């Protein structure tokens, strides 16, 4: 079981800020593919992966990273702090 979080327009497109996901995905890219296959709202949110960033257990990571041992995955657009 993994907690998946969404922020900004990714959250708006998917419709929830967080959810528990039962998955056997090995990598972030696998998880994205799995979610996109579920429902159209995920497919829409992840249609342009160049605009998506990912954090694993609150550390910035990338799409090819392994999900082994990861408890929290977050997807969001490029950050606009400051």
Pick one of 9, 16, 25, 30: the residue that binds another protein (CB under 8 A). 9
Measured at the CA of 21, the angle between CA 20 and CA 27, to 5 degrees, comes to: 130
Nearer to another protein, 35 or 73 (CB): 73
- Enclosing H/E stretch for 76: strand 72-76
The residue written with tokens 């998955």 in the block is 23
Closer to another protein at the Cβ: 15 or 33? 15
- Please state the closest distance from residue 29 (CB atom) to another protein, in A: 21
Regarding 47 and contact with another protein (CB under 8 A), the answer is no
Least distance CB 56 / another protein (angstroms): 10
The C-alpha R_g of the chain, in whole angstroms, comes to 12
Q: What is the token pair recorded at 14?
A: 């998917």
């Amino acid at each position: 079981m993994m907690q998946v979080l969404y922020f900004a327009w990714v959250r708006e497109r998917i419709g929830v800020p967080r959810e528990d996901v039962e998955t056997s995905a090995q990598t972030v890219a696998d998880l994205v593919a799995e979610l996109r296959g579920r429902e159209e709202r995920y497919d829409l949110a992840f249609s342009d992966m160049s605009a998506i960033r990912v954090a694993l257990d609150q550390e910035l990571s990338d799409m090819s990273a392994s999900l082994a041992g990861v408890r929290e995955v977050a997807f969001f657009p490029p950050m606009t702090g400051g």
